[in-house]
Amino acid sequence: MSEQAKKSVKITETILRDAHQSLIATRMTTEQMLPIIEKMDKVGYHAVECWGGATFDASLRFLKEDPWDRLRKLRTGFKNTKLQMLFRGQNILGYRHYADDVVEYFVQKSIANGIDIIRIFDCLNDIRNLETAVRATVKEKGHAQIALSYTLGDAYTIDYWTNIAKRVEDMGADSLCIKDMAGLLIPYEAEKLVKALKEMVKIPVELHTHYTSGVASMTYLKAVEAGCDIIDTAISPFALGTSQPATEVMVETFKGTEYDTGLNQNLLAEIADYFRPIRDEALESGLLNPKVMGVDIKTLLYQVPGGMLSNMVSQLKEQNAEDKYYEVLQEIPRVRKDLGEPPLVTPSSQIVGTQAVFNVLMGERYKMATKETKAVLRGEYGQTVKPFDTEVMEKVIPGEEVITCRPADKIPPELEKIEAEMAEWKEQDEDVLSYALFPQVATEYFKYRQAQKTKVDPFAADLESGSYPV
């Protein structure tokens, strides 16, 4: 194999998952995806990220679609391309920790229905919360990629990242991803980080970032020059803003160099032409807010993800306290420090942001603590990189027991109980998992599905009665 072939950078396309999740609240339908799959399958992507993240919830809740059915249809269409999903460790795709038997069954069914690569992460980078999902993925002969949630802070040194990367490799991960969900990784830091990781581990290193702060394309350039194997990009109509850098731009950047992707720009242009009207329609309907397409430099100034800022603004608006915006911005890093300096990604970003709002509005820090803040301090989400502030613990959970083991060790098997609870709705094995993650939303969908089946087709009825002019 030539040196050039070895250095060729690979591309994971995010249009069918993170790109539309970031820009249009995950509202792209399966029907919109299917006509372009044959063309996308010819590109030669390393993988297409098309499932997991918020797609599961959004399919059931807003689109009245079965996410498992979507996955099967995508698998049928993508004959030559690996399919990838995003998986929140012990949280799976939900917002609480699930028992190991649910995690194992979800991994098994994801791979059985067509997923090749499972990207597994934990909001605290507590790798104990990844063990079950990694083990299950390896058992099912899937590719287990562990993603480390990138963040800044005293504790997050190059040594921190390389040590955790080594532990990830030892755990049995097939590849490693740096997941820069807030767009905080700047170009020369990326170069340093990737070089250090490539010296520490033998498994491939992938980089995932968002364009929010405006530096992402340059970050990819320096990362690839430092040895990064794979980068995540989005086809141009759904690129930039809070999404990823554009696929075509990165392909052109590396063209003719030792990192050449070998992807065909004419084919990519045809794919972009297909998605452009979908983007325009989302813009006209208000689903795509032009604000998310700009550069938000506050992300770098305050190290706060864009989505977290907008959430905070709406919370302050509700309380008629928009004048407290900068006070809350200053309070966020303090709360984050009190809670062990976690990365700010779902759900830790929401927990820290909401507590900061309460602290400012109440005029006294931790006068009122949310149940999620209490859960973090009790260790219910896992271990943070730094210890919790003891005074805050004394005020918020005085005398309460703190969990030091892996949180899921405290959760007894729950699959049988869940299956019994939803038995009346079960039409396929996978329905049990939909219900396990989102009981109310899934039940609403099951009712809708049943109603659709009992609807009488008027055309068929007319034919039967003989009243329709054949």
Each residue's pLDDT tens digit, 328-362: 989 999 999 999 999 988 788 889 999 999 999 99
Question: Coil, strand, or helix at residue 121?
Answer: strand
**Distance, CA of 213 to CA of 311 (rounded, Å):** 17
pLDDT digits (tens, 9 = 90+) for 7-58: 899 999 999 999 999 999 999 999 999 999 999 999 999 999 999 999 999 9
**Distance, CA of 125 to CA of 342 (rounded, Å):** 8
What single string gives the DSSP state of each residue in 6-60? HHPPEEEE-IIIIIHHHHHTT---HHHHGGGHHHHTTS--SEEEEEETTHHHHHH
Section 60-69 average pLDDT: 97
**Distance, CA of 177 to CA of 164 (rounded, Å):** 12
**Distance, CA of 377 to CA of 111 (rounded, Å):** 35
pLDDT digits (tens, 9 = 90+) for 247-261: 999 999 999 999 999
pLDDT at 3: 44
Residue 14 burial (10 A CB sphere; 0-12, 13-18, 19+): buried
| Two tokens, residue 405 | 């083991």
pLDDT at 254: 98
Section 197-220 average pLDDT: 97
| Two tokens, residue 111 | 């791979």
Mean pLDDT, the chain, whole residue set? 93
* Max Cα distance, the chain (Å): 81
Q: Is-contact 58 274, C-beta < 8 A?
A: no
**Distance, CA of 185 to CA of 265 (rounded, Å):** 28
Instruction: Place 363 in a pLDDT band, splitting at 50, 70 and 90.
Output: very high
What single string gives the DSSP state of each residue in 248-290? HHHHHHHTTSTT-----HHHHHHHHHHHHHHHHHHHHHTSS-G
Angle at 81 between CA 75 and CA 83, to 5 degrees: 55
**Distance, CA of 16 to CA of 29 (rounded, Å):** 9
What are the structural domains of the chain? 10-290 (3.20.20.70), 304-404 (1.10.472.90)
pLDDT at 467: 36
Question: Coil, strand, or helix at residue 316?
Answer: helix
Instruction: Place 216 in a pLDDT band, splitting at 50, 70 and 90.
Output: very high
**Distance, CA of 343 to CA of 53 (rounded, Å):** 17
Dihedral sign of CA atoms 465, 466, 468, 470 in order? positive
pLDDT at 6: 58
What single string gives the DSSP state of each residue in 64-91? ---HHHHHHHHHHH-SSS-EEEEE-GGG
**Distance, CA of 416 to CA of 411 (rounded, Å):** 14
pLDDT at 314: 81
Section 213-223 average pLDDT: 97
Residue 361 burial (10 A CB sphere; 0-12, 13-18, 19+): middle
pLDDT at 323: 93
Q: Look at residue 291 and tell me whether its pLDDT is greater than 90.
A: no
Section 167-186 average pLDDT: 96
Percent of the chain's residues with pLDDT above 90 = 84
**Distance, CA of 401 to CA of 390 (rounded, Å):** 14
Q: Look at residue 4 and tell me whether its pLDDT is greater than 70.
A: no
Q: Is 86 left (phi over 0), alpha (psi -120 to 50) or beta?
A: beta
Name the CA radius of gyration of the chain, rounded.
23
Section 166-188 average pLDDT: 96
Q: Look at residue 130 and tell me whether its pLDDT is greater than 80.
A: yes
pLDDT digits (tens, 9 = 90+) for 456-467: 555 544 444 443
pLDDT at 2: 44
